């Protein structure tokens, strides 16, 4: 599936305390992609974006296999926002598109709200970051492993889900992947636990870039009702609901999701 060649850029931020690793692929204008809570993975959706954009995908500190303890230098959302802004600045990206999925969607919204004027357009894919008592966000970190497929996919038995959930065949690779995913959930969880609402609701109005809010119709982790909550607060925004998809529409319904995003980006 992957046609793009992934390169890695390493950028020191936070006074040199944190070394951020950025996967880079494709060519064209800059697009920053922020991965979900379980860590970075390249997929067909990114592959298609990389045909039009240079995709920069920073790994959240601690989620890089080579440097798991970077998380020990990261303490709260405010710090993360500043670190990512520093990263974008040091990469010398001029008004990039900002795309974030789930946990990465929250980061994208926080960063765009923190630094108006810095991003060309914003795409949020089933983002966390808001909380409605009547529609609580599922606790993906505390969920039983057996419950995760149901939370992540509209069709846990479908080919997209099965491909994503299958562990590596080699036992040692499976342990590394399994432990790496657990650790990634812990690293990202460090700044969102116990309730993924860190006050973003009061900051969304600051986002000035045109924003597309994409949601899987059957998202069982962050219900689709949250799409409108984001839209109501981001001034220049619109919502696209992807029929039949769960929490990861770009994986479970790649064509439809890419269509909506490419139309918004006018590519």
User: Residues 6, 141, 151, 241: which binds another protein (CB under 8 A)?
Assistant: 141
Instruction: Give the Cα-Cα-Cα angle 169, 24, 53 (nearest 5 degrees).
Output: 115
**Residue among 17, 142, 165, 255 that touches another protein (CB under 8 A):** 142
For the four alpha carbons of 213, 216, 218 and 221, in that order, the dihedral sign comes to negative
Return the closest-CA partner of residue 58 out of 79, 40, 36.
40
Instruction: Out of 84, 115, 183, 230, name the contact with another protein by CB under 8 A.
Output: 183
- Interface with another protein, residue 215, by CB under 8 A: no
Query: First vs last Cα of the chain: how many Å apart?
Result: 21
* 176 lines the binding site for another protein (CB under 8 A): yes
Task: In angstroms, give the least distance from the CB of 100 to another protein.
Answer: 20
Contact between 68 and another protein per CB under 8 A: yes
> In whole angstroms, how close is the CB of 32 to another protein at the nearest point?
25
**Nearest C-alpha neighbor of 25 from the set 44, 211, 112, 68:** 44
Q: Which stretch binds another protein (CB under 8 A): 43-51, 154-162, 191-199, 242-250?
A: 191-199
Give the nearest distance from C-beta 167 to another protein in angstroms: 11
Applying CB under 8 A, which part among 12-20, 51-59, 105-113, 171-179 lies near another protein?
171-179
Give the nearest distance from C-beta 70 to another protein in angstroms. 12
Query: What does the alpha-carbon distance between residue 91 and residue 9 come to, in Å, rounded to a whole number?
Result: 9
In the window 20-39, what residues touch another protein (CB under 8 A)?
none
At 43, give phi and psi (nearest 5°).
Answer: -140, 180
Structure tokens at 101: 């999925």
In angstroms, rounded to a whole number, what is the distance separating the alpha carbons of residues 32 and 58? Answer: 8
Q: Is 175 in the site for another protein (CB under 8 A)?
A: yes
- Tell me the C-alpha distance between 82 and 240, whole Å: 29
Neighbours of 27 (CB within 10 A): 11
Work out whether 194 is an interface residue with another protein (CB under 8 A): yes
Of the residues 180, 208, 210, 244, which one makes contact with another protein according to CB under 8 A: 180
Count of residues engaged in binding another protein, rule: CB under 8 A = 25
The answer to the question of residue 166 lying near another protein (CB under 8 A) is no
Three-class DSSP category at 147:
helix
CB distance 187 to 71 below 8 Å:
yes
**90 φ, ψ (degrees, to nearest 5):** -70, -25
Q: Which is nearer to another protein, 21 or 118 (CB)?
A: 21
- Taking the complex as a whole, the smallest distance from the CB of residue 166 to another protein amounts, in Å, to 17
78 binds another protein (CB under 8 A): no
3-state helix, strand, coil split of the chain in percent (to 5) is 40, 20, 40
Q: If you count them, how many residues does the chain have?
A: 267
Where does this chain touch another protein (CB under 8 A) — which range of 23-31, 101-109, 111-119, 177-185?
A: 177-185
Residues that bind another protein (CB under 8 A): 68, 71, 75, 141-145, 175-176, 178-180, 182-187, 189-191, 193-195
């Amino acid at each position: 599936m992957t046609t793009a060649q992934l390169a890695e850029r390493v950028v020191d931020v936070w006074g040199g305390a944190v070394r951020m690793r950025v996967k880079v692929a494709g060519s064209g204008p800059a697009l920053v992609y922020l991965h979900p809570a379980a860590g970075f993975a390249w997929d067909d959706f990114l592959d298609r974006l990389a045909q039009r954009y240079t995709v920069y995908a920073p790994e959240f500190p601690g989620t890089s296999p080579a440097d798991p303890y970077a998380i020990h230098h990261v303490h709260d959302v405010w710090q993360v926002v500043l670190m990512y802004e520093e990263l974008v600045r040091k990469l010398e990206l001029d008004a990039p598109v900002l795309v974030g999925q789930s946990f990465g969607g929250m980061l994208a919204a926080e960063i765009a709200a923190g630094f108006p004027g810095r991003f060309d357009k914003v795409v949020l894919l089933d983002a966390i970051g808001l909380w409605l008592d009547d529609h609580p966000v599922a606790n993906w970190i505390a969920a039983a492993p057996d419950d995760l497929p149901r939370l992540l996919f509209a069709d846990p038995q479908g080919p997209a889900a099965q491909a994503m959930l299958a562990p590596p065949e080699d036992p040692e690779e499976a342990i590394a992947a399994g432990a790496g995913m657990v650790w990634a959930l812990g690293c990202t969880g460090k700044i969102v636990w116990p309730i993924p609402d860190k006050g973003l609701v009061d900051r969304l109005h600051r986002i000035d870039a045109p924003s597309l809010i994409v949601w899987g119709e059957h998202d069982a982790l962050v219900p689709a009702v949250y799409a409108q909550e984001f839209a109501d607060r981001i001034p220049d925004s619109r919502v696209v609901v992807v029929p039949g998809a769960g929490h990861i529409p770009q994986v479970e319904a790649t064509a439809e999701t890419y269509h909506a995003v490419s139309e918004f980006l006018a590519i």
